[in-house]
Amino acid sequence: MFIEPTAGKGKRGWIEVVCGSMFSGKTEELIRRLRRAQIANKKTEIFKPAVDTRYHTTDVVSHDSNAIRSTPITNSENILLLADGIEVVGIDEAQFLDAELPTVCEKLAKRGSRVIVAGLDMDFEGKPFGPMPNLLSIADYITKVHAICMQCGEIAHFSYRKSENTNKIMLGEKDAYEPRCRKCYYNL
């Protein structure tokens, strides 16, 4: 369980990363943390890649239909401009953003912002995805969440793509992906 650090004198920023496979609850956890910050009367803002229009064009929406207002962006540098004076910055679907995202998160943390990033740590081929490996290496706090394997019911770490599409980015839901454990993912 994640415990929020207490701040001493002055602003203290940090980076939190919530990662895992599809259907593991990453967005749900991001929304939960942002709502807690809002209850604490913190200035919050959440961003998502403009390419992610699966459930809503602007809102971040979990697979369980929980939603929170967000600002779609086309590149991570936009966050620096739009998050000026924001105490808690949320970023969903980070794997779809550009390689500058870790640098942007560092700058926000140095400004004193709490930065909460959620994203897939691996793509459908089981390889590190987008800027996530670099974000994980600079994060102050990491939470890895897990889904349930749709083949055997064990803990799932992988996002198995059901189609033959080999594009790196393919938006989809349960019709296109399912969580799988290592054994079922590799058909061992």
Report pLDDT digits (tens) over 127-170: 999 999 999 999 999 999 999 999 999 999 999 999 887 777 76
Q: Find the catalytic residue in 4, 93, 164, 178.
A: 93
Q: What does the block give as tokens for 121?
A: 């740590």
For residue 7, what pLDDT band results from cuts at 50, 70 and 90?
very low
Question: 29 catalytic, yes or no?
Answer: no
Domains of the chain (ranges, CATH numbers): 14-146 (3.40.50.300)
Secondary structure tally for the chain: helices H, strands E: 5, 12
Largest CA distance in the chain: 54
Per-residue pLDDT at 166: 77
pTM to 2 decimal places = 0.87
